[in-house]
Amino acid sequence: MNITVIGTGYVGLVTGACFSKMGNKVYCVDIDESKIEGLKKGILPIFEPHLATMVKNGQEKGDLIFTTQIKEALYETDIIFIAVGTPMASDGSANLDYIFSAATDIAENISHDSLVVIKSTVPIGTGFKVKEHIERILQDNNSNVKIDIASNPEFLKEGRAIEDCMHPDRVVIGAEKDEIFDILKDLYSSFVLNHDRFVLMDIKSSEMTKYVANAMLATKISFMNEIANICEVTGANVQQVRLGIGSDRRIGYDFIYAGCGYGGSCFPKDVQALINTAQNAGYEPMILSNVEKVNAKQKKVLVNKVVDRFGSDLNGRTFGIWGLSFKPGTDDVREATSQVVITSLIDKGAKIKAYDPEAINEFKKAIDDKYLDSIEFVDNRYSAADECDGLILITEWKEFRNPDFELLGNKLNEKVIFDGRNIYDKKIIKKGFELFQIGC
């Protein structure tokens, strides 16, 4: 098939690369000329394992084309995917400016009947509004072109997005016509050869499914973090509690790890957007509202532990930071706990030595410039411990899981570790370390 993907952000780039891998001819369109020129040279705007190789191979075969010229990309297209960003607006709703800008570009440049598929995460009812928007412009331009609309939300996990795209556990399709389901099932058939993983529904339900999936996962995280805090004040151990409840098949082990809060581009904005949607419809979502409150509080747990150990005046103190990205396997620092921890410690007078295998450059862009003079970024994990008063683990990259504790102990001024992801065994206490964890 000939496919056009509008937007070369995280979703659009991964989706386009994977479609091209399956033999489709894919045009990836973006208005950012510098980004497109970089992609043509193999310079990716994001870090995602295996994506650079896939992009390079797709371009070499001529199956993956990057362009700013949407008219060229739409000329022979069979399916148009909208995969632009929907950032959080000031009121917590999803900002749909990029969605409708893409819809306008489609309407003004399409020359034949087409299927428009919204892959971006959008509020319930957006698909129909986009269709009306395109049809209104086509009518104003006296065009006879007809378009159909569908919803096909993405369920990519940063750090393993290629695997999720190539081997999806489900493909959700929202449409109003059987023939639309057939077209998209044909496109995805090569991704689900071993068994049928299609989940077919109406457009509004498809749009809602994406929000509910992220809200449910965020709820599990905040629930377990609240349980961890209760464990801590009552003397229970959340790690043991996790094993006790995870063995129940109705609960399972996924997303019930206690930690220092979730971040990223999806969970925070999607939970807020769903809250906003519910409130606009006259319903107050009490659980979801508190999911966000618990998470905001959880991001400060490590700071509170540092203050409990060293006092509120941290002048003259330096702390090593392991991990800046919101999760391992990505350079994404949006809504990352590291930003809260580092700025809070600096505000209390501390200096920081920070290490992350991928996210340092993105962190420098994201953090307020006034904090940069108080942060030394280093190029290996052990340098982040040099002459520091304590080590704070925020992101559980694999290289942090089994470090040389003897070397760490020699580098640190005080053998103190704040383990924000509960990855260390308490046996290290026998090595002379003070270990502070979440709910343990």
Model-level pTM?
A: 0.91
Residue 185's closest CA among 176, 172, 203, 202? 172
What are the structure tokens assigned to 396, written together?
Answer: 């559980």
**Average of per-residue pLDDT values in the chain:** 96
In this predicted structure, what is the pLDDT of residue 194? 73
Strand partners, 352: 319, 375
What Rg do the C-alpha atoms of the chain give, in angstroms?
24
Is the pLDDT at 164 greater than 90? The verdict is yes
Instruction: Tell me the pLDDT tens digit for each residue of 251-272.
Output: 999 999 999 999 998 999 999 9
7 backbone φψ class: left, alpha, beta (φ>0; ψ -120 to 50): left
Taking residues 337-361, what's their average pLDDT? 98
- Phi first, then psi, for residue 225 (nearest 5°) are -65, -35
Q: Work out whether the CA dihedral 256, 260, 261, 265 comes out positive or negative.
A: negative
Name, in order, each residue with C-beta under 8 angstroms of 297's C-beta and a sequence gap of 6 or more.
Answer: none
Using CB atoms within 10 A of its CB, is residue 402 exposed (0-12), middle (13-18) or buried (19+)? exposed
Which band of pLDDT confidence, cut at 50, 70 and 90, is reported for residue 102? Answer: very high
Contact between 298 and 227 (Cβ < 8 Å): no
Instruction: Tell me the pLDDT tens digit for each residue of 68-91.
Output: 999 999 999 999 999 999 998 888
Is the pLDDT at 288 greater than 90? The verdict is yes
Taking residues 325-354, what's their average pLDDT? 97
Instruction: Tell me the pLDDT tens digit for each residue of 28-82.
Output: 999 999 999 999 999 999 999 999 999 999 999 999 999 999 999 999 999 999 9
Contact between 332 and 158 (Cβ < 8 Å): yes
Name, in order, each residue with C-beta under 8 angstroms of 71's C-beta and a sequence gap of 6 or more.
Answer: 109
Task: Give the residue carrying structure tokens 């003004």.
Answer: 108
* Helices 286-298 & 203-234 angle (0-180, nearest 10): 50
Instruction: Tell me the pLDDT tens digit for each residue of 173-187.
Output: 999 999 999 999 999
Least confident among 134-138, 155-159, 341-345, 413-417: 155-159
Contacts of 336-340 with CB under 8 Å at 24 or more apart are 336/263, 336/264, 336/363, 336/366, 336/394, 336/395, 337/260, 337/261, 337/263, 337/299, 337/302, 337/394, 337/420, 338/363, 338/394, 338/395, 339/363, 339/366, 339/367, 340/261, 340/299, 340/300, 340/303
What percentage of the chain carries pLDDT values higher than 90?
97
Taking residues 376-393, what's their average pLDDT? 98
Taking residues 421-437, what's their average pLDDT? 95
What are the structure tokens assigned to 431, written together?
Answer: 């090595």
Residue 426's closest CA among 411, 437, 415, 412? 437
Is the pLDDT at 275 greater than 80? The verdict is yes
Which band of pLDDT confidence, cut at 50, 70 and 90, is reported for residue 390? Answer: very high
Dist CA 241 CA 224 (whole Å):
10
What positions carry a catalytic annotation? Answer: 266
Other CB atoms within a 10 A radius of the CB of residue 167 amount to 13
